[in-house]
Structure 1
Amino acid sequence: MKKRFWIAGAIGFAMAFQVSAQDEKALKYASTITAADLEKHLTYLASDELEGRDTGEKGQKLAAEYLAEFYEGLGLTGPVDGSFFQEFNLSSVSYPQVNLAVGKQKLANNEDFIFIGDADMSKAAKTDLVFLGLANEENLSKVDIKGKLVGLWAIGSRAQTVVPEVMEAGAAGIIIVTMEGQANFDRMANWYKSLSGRGRLGFEQATKQEPIFLVSSDMMSKLFDTPVEILKEAAKNNPESIKSQKVNYQVKKNTKLVPTENVLAFLEGTDKKEEVLVISSHYDHTGIDSQGRVNNGADDDGSGTVAVMEIAEAFALAAKDGHKPRRSVLFLNVTGEEKGLLGSEYYSDNPIFPLENTVNNLNIDMVGRIDYEYQDAEDQEYIYVIGSEMLSSHLKIINEYNNITYTNLKLDYRYDAEDDPNRFYYRSDHYNFAKHNIPVIFFFNGVHDDYHQHTDTVDKIEFPLMTKRTKLIFHTAWDLANREERTPVDGSNTRGER
C-alpha cells in the first residue's frame, strides 16, 4: 500500500490551481514552525534531567511547568479556572506478593508468569487447575470450572475479550496463553518487571477478585505436563482430556494516590468561538528502566509535544497580528498515555469545553522519525494518517487538500484499517475523542528499533522532515478553524472498545 491517495474533485482542483489556492496568512505563520525551534524544545523535554517524564514523577512535573510557561509566554489562556493545569489523581497499584505454584512447580513472578489481573487475598487459595482451552459454550459444557483456576489457550485473542465470560461462569481465576513463542513472552515479562517497582497506574476502583496469570505456551505445556501440540488440539476439541493439576496462589495488593495533570492552553476564536478544535499530544513517557537508564522519549512523544507547541506559537503569533481563528483552539498535552490513555480519558470524561462543541481532534504521536517500512525507501517524506474518514467524509479530504497545497508529503493509510494487527488506532489519545463521535486524525511516523527504549534520543530525530509534518498539521488545523462549516459527523464509529 505504498502509494499516494488522491481525491477527485476538490483535490484535483487544488492541484491545478495550487499557487492561487494557497492562503498567504497560513503560509506566513507556518513559516514560524522551524527545525531549530523544534530541536530547542525537544532537547530539553527529552533530556536526562526529565528522567523519562514518567506519569506523576518529577520529570513529568518539570515538563508540565515548561509547557505552561511556554503557553503563557505566547499570551494563550489557561482555561481551567485560569490555570493551564487540569489536575487529577490516579491510583498506583502494586502487588508486592504474587505467589503461584502448580503441583510441585513454584513459578516466579515476571519470569515464569505475569500477573495481569487484580486481587487482594489475606491467605493463599488452594484449588484445581483445569484446562478449558477455548472459551466457548461447547468447552464450558465439558469442563467444570466453578471455583477453579482455568487454563485458557487464547492465542490470537485479547485477554479482555475472553476473561470476563470465563469469570462470569464461576472460575476462581485464570492462567492464560495469548501468544506463541517464549521470546515474545520474555520481552513482555521484562517490561512488566521494569514497571513492578512503580506500580500500575489507573483510575481508582474497587478491587476485583480476579487473579489472572499470563504464561507462555511453553510454560502452559509444563504446567499440564502435556506437549504444546496436544494442548492446541485439546483446546479446540476435547479440553476434558487434559488432566487437572493442584494449584495454590496468593496475591497481596497495595494502592496509593498519584497526582498528575494535563496541560491545556486556549486561544479563543471570533465569530465561531463556541466551537473548539483540539490539537493534542501526550507529554509523558515511560521513565527510567529496570537497569537505571532514562527512556528519554524523544520521538514518543516528545516529537508530538513540541509539534503542538510550535503550532500553538504559529496560531498565537497570527492572533497577535489580528488574525485570530474563527473557531477556538485548545492545545492539549495529556499525561498518562503510556499507562493506558489515561489523561485523554480524564479530559473526555471531564471536558473543559463541551464535547458537543468540539469539532475535531488532531492528535500527534511520534512524528520525528522514519520507521521500518520507509528506512530504505527512496522517498522518505511520508506520514501515516489514521482515522481521518471514519466519522466524517470531509476530514480526510480537507487534510489531503492541505497536503497537496502546501507540503506534498506521502500520506500513508496502511494502518487505518479495522483489522490492523498493530491496533494503532486504539493506542493513542485520539481514541478518547473518537469514542464520543468527534472526528479525529492521528498523525504517526510508525515504529522503529528505539520505540520504548532508552535509545529514543534527540540525536536520531529527522528535524527537517518533522518540520514538514508539523506544517501539514498546522495547515489542516488552520483550515478547520477558519472554514465556514464544521466537518459533519456523517459516518459511524465502526471501531469499538479497546
Structure 2
Amino acid sequence: MWIKTIKGLGIFLTFSLLLINCQTIQTALENALQSISLTDFKANIQTLSSDEFGGRAPATPGEEKTVNFLQQKFAELGLKPGNGDSYFQEVPMLAMKVEPTAKLRVFKKPTTLEFNFSQDFMAWTLRGVEESGFDQADLVFVGYGIVAPEYNWNDYEGVDVKDKVVIILINDPGFETNDPNLFNGKAMTYYGRWTYKFEEAARQGAKGALIIHETAPAAYPWEVVQNSWGGTNYTLASEDNNMSRCAVEGWLSLEASQKILETAGLNYADLKQKATQPGFKGFSLVLQASLHFKNDVSHVTSRNVAALYEGGERADEVIIFTSHWDHFGTDPSLEGDNIFNGALDNATGTAGLIELARAFTNLKQKPKRSFLFLAVTGEEQGLLGSQYYATHPLFPLAKTVAVINIDSLNIWGPMKDITVIGYGLSQLDQYVEEEASKEGRQVNPDPTPERGSFYRSDHFSFAKQGVPAIYFSPGVDHVVHGKKWGLEQRDKYLAANYHKPSDEFDPNWDLSGAIQDLQLIFKIAYRLSEEATFPNWNEGTEFKHLRDQMMGIND
C-alpha cells in the first residue's frame, strides 16, 4: 500500500512541477510582452522621422545618425554585435543622380516629339558611368515584357531588341483581364514588377527600357515615380560596374506614352488589350528616339545594422527580424518641405524592431534559438540591403529558421484581423493562425494583391534564396470603425503621403494597434525559437525547391 502511495505522490509532484514550470514560463512571457513600450515606441518613431535625420537616405549624414542611433539602442538593451565585433554590415553601392534637364526626343519624319524630365518621363542608369543614353534608337513595343515559360508566355519571341529601346506595360496580363487562369489573375506576379521588367530587358540586349505608368496597375500615382527616382538613385556595386544593365531605365507618363503611340498610328487602349492575349508578340513602332544625360556617379558604402540576441541550446539556429531603416532623404529641388521623413514608411517598423528586442531581452530564460535584429538599407531603391545580406549572410541560410519582415506598422488603432503578405505560401501560416486565434483575431491575405506587395519588401530577398519569410501588414477590420473604414485609411495614406514629404509623424496616430501587432509577432517568434523543426514553403510554391536543396531534402 505504501509503495502505491509513494508512486502516486511522485506522479502528483511531477505533474505539479510541470504545472508550476508552465505557469512560470507563461508569467515570463506576459512580462516580456508588457515590456513593449508604447511610450518608447512613439519616441523612437519621432526621432527617426525627425527633420534632423534628413529623410534617412543611404550614404548621407542621415544614415550616419540613423545607424548610430540603432546601434546605441540595441547595445543599451544588451544585444551583441551581429557581425563579429561590429553592429554593421557594410553594403557597397553606386550612387547616381541624373541631370534634370535631360530631354527625350521621339522621331517620325517629319515629326519630332520632345518630352521633359520629371513631367513626362523619368530616366536613369544603373551603370557606373558619367554619361549615358541612346541616339536614334528604334522603339519596340513588347507588351508586358515577360518571358515566363511556366505560363507559356514570351513577349520577346521573334522580335529583335538588341541595342533598341523597349516600351513596356506595367503589371502583368492577369491584372488587366482579371482572368484567374491568366498568370495569377488580379494578384500581381513577380513578372509584373518594374524590377523584373528592367532585368529582362537587359537579358534581351535592349539599350533602354521604358515602362508606361498607370496608377492602378502600378499601385501608385506619377508623383511617387517622380519622388522615388528623381533624386539620387542607388544600386549594389558589381564587378562589371553594372554594365550588364540597360544603358537607360525609366518610366513614361501615361500622357507621354499615348502621344508616342498615336504618332505610331496606334491606340493605347487597343494595344493594351492585344497585349493581354496569349501569343502576343512584340513589334517595332517604326519610331526612333534619342536621350542623353550626364550622370553624377560615386562609389559609396551604406550599412545594414545587425544586432544579435543569442539563444541557448540551439544558438546557431537563427530567426531574423527585418525592417528597412532607409527612406528618400532630402530633395533640394523641391520648394517648401523637401524632407522625405518616412514616418510610417518605415520609422514605425524600425522602431518596432527595437521594441521586439526589448521584449526578448526581458525574458528571464533565454529562448533556445537566437534572434538577429536586422535593420537594412536601400529597400526603397530595390531591396538592396536585404539582397546583399541574403547573398552575403552573416549566419548560414541553412541555419536560418525564418524571416519575419516588418514594413509600416499600424497607425490606425486596434484591428480584429492581421494581414500576412505571402499568406498561403509557407508553413509559417500555421503559427500565425494559432497565435492570432488565441486573441480572437482573423488572419487575412493581402487585401490588394494586385499591388504586388509580396515582391516589394525585404522578406522577398530571402524568399528568392529559399528561406521561408513572411511580411506582417496592418489589419483592415477596425475594432470600432470596421473594414470599409480600415481600407479607406490605407488608400488615403497611399494617395496623400506614400513616398512624399508629408509622410510625417502625427501625434494623433493611434499606435495601440501597432503594439497589438508587435505582441502577436513576439508570440509567433517565441514559438519558433522553442522548436527544433524548420518551417518550409508549401508544395507548389516557387521557392520550395530552393529550401529543400538548402536543407538537403530529397524529392
Q: Contact 2:198–2:246 at 8 Å: present in 1 too?
A: no
AA in 2 matched with 1:49: E
Secondary structure at the aligned position of 2:298 is classed as strand
1:175, distance to aligned residue in structure 2 (A):
4.8
Q: Does 1:413 align with 2:445?
A: yes
1:107, distance to aligned residue in structure 2 (A):
2.0
Q: State the identity %.
A: 26
Q: Does 1:404 align with 2:437?
A: yes
CA distance in structure 1 between the aligned counterparts of 2:124 and 2:132, rounded to whole angstroms: 19
Q: Contact 1:381–1:465 at 8 Å: present in 2 too?
A: no
What does the per-residue CA deviation read over 1:401-438, in whole Å, with 9 as the maximum and x for residues that have no partner?
22233x444432234x9xx2111111111112222222
1:299, distance to aligned residue in structure 2 (A):
1.7
1:325, distance to aligned residue in structure 2 (A):
0.7
Matches of residues 9-88 of structure 1 in structure 2 within 5 Å?
23-88=26-91
AA in 1 matched with 2:340: N
Q: Does 1:206 align with 2:242?
A: yes
Name the residue aligned to 2:149: none
What does the per-residue CA deviation read over 1:78-106, in whole Å, with 9 as the maximum and x for residues that have no partner?
13121111122211122337442223333
Secondary structure at the aligned position of 2:29 is classed as helix
Q: Of 459, 469, 484, which aligns to 1:430?
A: 459
Q: Does 1:387 align with 2:395?
A: no
CA distance in structure 1 between the aligned counterparts of 2:253 and 2:398, rounded to whole angstroms: 45
Q: Contact 2:264–2:285 at 8 Å: present in 1 too?
A: no
1:177, distance to aligned residue in structure 2 (A):
2.6
Moved more, 344-353 or 450-459: 450-459
Name the residue aligned to 2:116: 108
Q: Does 1:489 align with 2:536?
A: yes
Structure 1 gaps of 5+ residues are 1-18
Secondary structure at the aligned position of 2:81 is classed as coil
Name the residue aligned to 2:509: 461
Q: Contact 1:181–1:217 at 8 Å: present in 2 too?
A: no
Name the residue aligned to 1:327: 369
CA change 1:20–1:402 in 2 (3 A) is farther
CA distance in structure 1 between the aligned counterparts of 2:325 and 2:155, rounded to whole angstroms: 47
CA distance in structure 2 between the aligned counterparts of 1:137 and 1:332, rounded to whole angstroms: 38
Matches of residues 158-307 of structure 1 in structure 2 within 5 Å?
158=193, 172-179=207-214, 186-192=222-228, 195-204=229-238, 205-207=241-243, 208-226=245-263, 230-233=267-270, 236=274, 244-289=286-331, 290-291=334-335, 292-307=337-352
CA distance in structure 1 between the aligned counterparts of 2:225 and 2:214, rounded to whole angstroms: 13
Name the residue aligned to 2:523: 475
Normalised by the length of structure 2, the TM-score is 0.72
CA change 1:161–1:297 in 2 (3 A) is closer
Q: Contact 2:314–2:369 at 8 Å: present in 1 too?
A: yes
Secondary structure at the aligned position of 2:83 is classed as coil
Number of residue pairs the alignment of both structures matches: 458
Structure 2 gaps of 5+ residues are 1-21, 146-152, 173-191, 476-489, 544-555
Secondary structure at the aligned position of 1:255 is classed as strand
Moved more, 338-347 or 147-156: 147-156
Secondary structure at the aligned position of 1:25 is classed as helix
AA in 2 matched with 1:330: L
CA distance in structure 2 between the aligned counterparts of 1:177 and 1:461, rounded to whole angstroms: 36
What does the per-residue CA deviation read over 1:451-497, in whole Å, with 9 as the maximum and x for residues that have no partner?
323333142432221111111111111111123x224325257357x
What does the per-residue CA deviation read over 1:40-86, in whole Å, with 9 as the maximum and x for residues that have no partner?
22221222211121122212221211111121122221131211111
Q: Contact 1:182–1:216 at 8 Å: present in 2 too?
A: no
1:357, distance to aligned residue in structure 2 (A):
0.5
Name the residue aligned to 1:358: 400
CA distance in structure 1 between the aligned counterparts of 2:450 and 2:328, rounded to whole angstroms: 23
CA change 1:233–1:32 in 2 (3 A) is closer
AA in 1 matched with 2:421: I
CA distance in structure 2 between the aligned counterparts of 1:206 and 1:253, rounded to whole angstroms: 14
CA distance in structure 1 between the aligned counterparts of 2:453 and 2:163, rounded to whole angstroms: 37
Matches of residues 142-157 of structure 1 in structure 2 within 5 Å?
148-152=164-168, 156=172
AA in 2 matched with 1:218: E
Secondary structure at the aligned position of 1:467 is classed as helix
CA change 1:73–1:116 in 2 (3 A) is same
CA distance in structure 1 between the aligned counterparts of 2:285 and 2:403, rounded to whole angstroms: 53
Q: Contact 1:159–1:178 at 8 Å: present in 2 too?
A: no
1:256, distance to aligned residue in structure 2 (A):
0.6
